[in-house]
Amino acid sequence: MIIGVTGGIGSGKSTVARAFGDLGAGWVDADDVAREVVAPGEPALAAITERFGEQVINEDGSLNRAALRQIVFDDPTQRAWLESVTHPRIRERLLAHLERLSATSPYVLLVSPLLFESGQDALVNRTLVVDVPEHEQISRTLARDKVSETQVRAILAAQLPRYERLSRADDVIDNSQGLDFTRQQVSTLDQRYRNSKT
Protein backbone atom coordinates (compact mmCIF):
# COMPACT_ATOMS: atom_id res chain seq x y z
CA MET A 1 0.00 0.00 0.00
CA ILE A 2 1.24 3.49 -0.86
CA ILE A 3 0.28 6.42 1.35
CA GLY A 4 0.59 9.90 -0.16
CA VAL A 5 1.72 12.37 2.49
CA THR A 6 1.20 16.02 1.71
CA GLY A 7 0.72 19.40 3.35
CA GLY A 8 1.48 23.03 2.73
CA ILE A 9 4.96 24.47 3.00
CA GLY A 10 6.24 24.40 6.59
CA SER A 11 3.58 21.93 7.77
CA GLY A 12 6.10 19.30 8.91
CA LYS A 13 5.82 16.59 6.27
CA SER A 14 9.42 15.45 6.77
CA THR A 15 8.96 15.27 10.56
CA VAL A 16 5.92 13.04 10.07
CA ALA A 17 7.72 10.88 7.50
CA ARG A 18 10.64 10.36 9.89
CA ALA A 19 8.19 9.35 12.63
CA PHE A 20 6.69 6.70 10.33
CA GLY A 21 10.23 5.67 9.36
CA ASP A 22 11.05 5.13 13.04
CA LEU A 23 8.19 2.60 13.09
CA GLY A 24 9.59 0.73 10.08
CA ALA A 25 7.83 2.33 7.12
CA GLY A 26 9.78 3.09 3.96
CA TRP A 27 9.36 6.51 2.40
CA VAL A 28 10.47 8.58 -0.53
CA ASP A 29 10.36 12.38 -0.61
CA ALA A 30 9.36 13.97 -3.91
CA ASP A 31 11.46 17.04 -2.99
CA ASP A 32 14.58 14.83 -2.78
CA VAL A 33 13.72 13.27 -6.14
CA ALA A 34 13.10 16.75 -7.56
CA ARG A 35 16.67 17.66 -6.54
CA GLU A 36 17.99 14.45 -8.12
CA VAL A 37 16.50 15.22 -11.54
CA VAL A 38 18.16 18.67 -11.66
CA ALA A 39 21.58 17.53 -10.44
CA PRO A 40 24.65 18.32 -12.58
CA GLY A 41 24.72 16.08 -15.64
CA GLU A 42 20.95 15.55 -15.70
CA PRO A 43 19.01 16.46 -18.89
CA ALA A 44 16.55 18.62 -16.91
CA LEU A 45 19.36 20.84 -15.64
CA ALA A 46 20.65 21.31 -19.19
CA ALA A 47 17.16 22.38 -20.33
CA ILE A 48 16.79 24.79 -17.40
CA THR A 49 20.19 26.33 -18.11
CA GLU A 50 19.33 26.72 -21.78
CA ARG A 51 16.11 28.54 -20.94
CA PHE A 52 17.21 30.75 -18.03
CA GLY A 53 20.97 31.07 -18.52
CA GLU A 54 23.86 30.96 -16.08
CA GLN A 55 21.99 33.16 -13.56
CA VAL A 56 20.32 29.97 -12.22
CA ILE A 57 23.57 28.00 -11.92
CA ASN A 58 25.91 28.07 -8.91
CA GLU A 59 29.68 28.24 -9.29
CA ASP A 60 29.95 24.50 -8.64
CA GLY A 61 27.57 23.75 -11.53
CA SER A 62 24.58 22.93 -9.34
CA LEU A 63 21.16 24.55 -9.68
CA ASN A 64 20.71 27.84 -7.84
CA ARG A 65 17.28 26.93 -6.49
CA ALA A 66 16.68 30.33 -4.88
CA ALA A 67 17.32 32.17 -8.15
CA LEU A 68 15.08 29.79 -10.09
CA ARG A 69 12.36 29.99 -7.43
CA GLN A 70 12.33 33.76 -7.76
CA ILE A 71 11.80 33.51 -11.52
CA VAL A 72 9.11 30.85 -11.55
CA PHE A 73 7.02 32.16 -8.68
CA ASP A 74 6.96 35.60 -10.27
CA ASP A 75 5.79 34.21 -13.62
CA PRO A 76 3.18 31.41 -13.90
CA THR A 77 4.20 30.74 -17.54
CA GLN A 78 7.77 30.01 -16.50
CA ARG A 79 6.54 27.81 -13.64
CA ALA A 80 4.37 25.82 -16.06
CA TRP A 81 7.36 25.34 -18.38
CA LEU A 82 9.57 24.18 -15.49
CA GLU A 83 6.93 21.71 -14.33
CA SER A 84 6.58 20.32 -17.87
CA VAL A 85 10.33 19.56 -17.85
CA THR A 86 10.68 18.23 -14.30
CA HIS A 87 7.37 16.56 -13.35
CA PRO A 88 7.51 13.63 -15.83
CA ARG A 89 11.09 12.86 -14.77
CA ILE A 90 10.17 13.12 -11.09
CA ARG A 91 7.19 10.78 -11.57
CA GLU A 92 9.33 8.16 -13.33
CA ARG A 93 11.91 8.16 -10.54
CA LEU A 94 9.30 8.15 -7.79
CA LEU A 95 7.76 5.00 -9.26
CA ALA A 96 11.17 3.30 -9.29
CA HIS A 97 11.85 4.27 -5.65
CA LEU A 98 8.37 3.18 -4.51
CA GLU A 99 8.71 -0.19 -6.23
CA ARG A 100 12.08 -0.80 -4.58
CA LEU A 101 10.81 0.19 -1.11
CA SER A 102 7.60 -1.83 -1.33
CA ALA A 103 9.65 -5.05 -1.41
CA THR A 104 10.79 -4.53 2.20
CA SER A 105 8.22 -2.24 3.88
CA PRO A 106 4.73 -3.04 5.27
CA TYR A 107 3.51 0.08 3.43
CA VAL A 108 5.31 2.94 1.70
CA LEU A 109 4.98 6.72 2.02
CA LEU A 110 5.20 9.10 -0.92
CA VAL A 111 5.92 12.49 0.65
CA SER A 112 5.03 15.29 -1.76
CA PRO A 113 4.12 18.95 -1.18
CA LEU A 114 2.31 18.96 -4.55
CA LEU A 115 0.68 15.54 -4.29
CA PHE A 116 -2.69 16.76 -5.56
CA GLU A 117 -1.45 19.62 -7.76
CA SER A 118 0.98 17.38 -9.69
CA GLY A 119 -1.41 14.43 -10.06
CA GLN A 120 0.84 12.22 -7.93
CA ASP A 121 -2.21 11.29 -5.85
CA ALA A 122 -3.01 8.90 -8.73
CA LEU A 123 0.01 6.84 -7.60
CA VAL A 124 -1.26 6.27 -4.04
CA ASN A 125 -3.93 4.21 -2.25
CA ARG A 126 -4.61 6.73 0.53
CA THR A 127 -3.80 10.38 1.15
CA LEU A 128 -2.56 11.79 4.46
CA VAL A 129 -2.51 15.55 4.99
CA VAL A 130 -0.14 17.06 7.57
CA ASP A 131 -1.92 20.18 8.73
CA VAL A 132 -1.00 23.35 10.63
CA PRO A 133 -2.62 26.80 10.53
CA GLU A 134 -1.37 29.10 7.77
CA HIS A 135 0.26 31.58 10.18
CA GLU A 136 2.36 28.70 11.51
CA GLN A 137 3.34 27.64 7.99
CA ILE A 138 4.60 31.16 7.34
CA SER A 139 6.56 31.53 10.58
CA ARG A 140 8.15 28.06 10.29
CA THR A 141 9.17 28.62 6.66
CA LEU A 142 10.62 32.06 7.38
CA ALA A 143 12.73 30.59 10.19
CA ARG A 144 13.84 27.54 8.18
CA ASP A 145 14.46 28.87 4.66
CA LYS A 146 15.58 32.47 5.26
CA VAL A 147 13.30 33.74 2.48
CA SER A 148 11.03 36.76 2.35
CA GLU A 149 7.45 36.60 3.54
CA THR A 150 6.41 37.65 0.01
CA GLN A 151 8.08 34.52 -1.37
CA VAL A 152 6.47 32.30 1.25
CA ARG A 153 3.05 33.73 0.42
CA ALA A 154 3.72 33.18 -3.32
CA ILE A 155 4.53 29.53 -2.59
CA LEU A 156 1.37 29.21 -0.50
CA ALA A 157 -0.64 30.73 -3.34
CA ALA A 158 0.79 28.15 -5.76
CA GLN A 159 -0.32 25.30 -3.51
CA LEU A 160 -3.89 24.14 -2.96
CA PRO A 161 -5.79 26.15 -0.37
CA ARG A 162 -5.73 24.50 3.05
CA TYR A 163 -9.48 23.77 3.07
CA GLU A 164 -9.28 22.03 -0.31
CA ARG A 165 -6.29 19.91 0.67
CA LEU A 166 -8.12 18.85 3.84
CA SER A 167 -11.29 18.04 1.90
CA ARG A 168 -9.32 15.62 -0.31
CA ALA A 169 -7.55 13.85 2.57
CA ASP A 170 -8.31 10.30 3.65
CA ASP A 171 -6.38 10.93 6.88
CA VAL A 172 -5.14 14.08 8.68
CA ILE A 173 -2.36 14.66 11.20
CA ASP A 174 -2.58 17.84 13.28
CA ASN A 175 1.09 18.88 13.54
CA SER A 176 0.50 22.06 15.51
CA GLN A 177 0.61 20.69 19.05
CA GLY A 178 4.11 19.35 19.53
CA LEU A 179 6.10 16.27 18.55
CA ASP A 180 4.63 13.93 21.18
CA PHE A 181 1.08 14.56 19.93
CA THR A 182 2.22 14.11 16.33
CA ARG A 183 3.94 10.81 17.17
CA GLN A 184 0.77 9.51 18.87
CA GLN A 185 -1.21 10.19 15.69
CA VAL A 186 1.50 8.54 13.56
CA SER A 187 1.44 5.45 15.78
CA THR A 188 -2.34 5.12 15.42
CA LEU A 189 -2.15 5.45 11.63
CA ASP A 190 0.79 3.05 11.44
CA GLN A 191 -1.35 0.33 13.01
CA ARG A 192 -4.25 1.12 10.68
CA TYR A 193 -2.04 1.01 7.57
CA ARG A 194 -0.39 -2.28 8.64
CA ASN A 195 -3.80 -3.88 9.12
CA SER A 196 -5.30 -2.49 5.92
CA LYS A 197 -5.91 -4.72 2.95
CA THR A 198 -6.20 -1.80 0.50
Binding residues for ATP: 10-15
Give the annotated binding-site residues. 10-15
Neighbours of 30 (CB within 10 A): 25
Helices 43-52 and 76-102 cross at an angle (nearest 10°) of: 170
How far, in Å, CA of 82 to CA of 100, rounded?
27
How far, in Å, CA of 80 to CA of 167, rounded?
25
Burial label for 163, CB within 10 Å (0-12, 13-18, 19+), is exposed
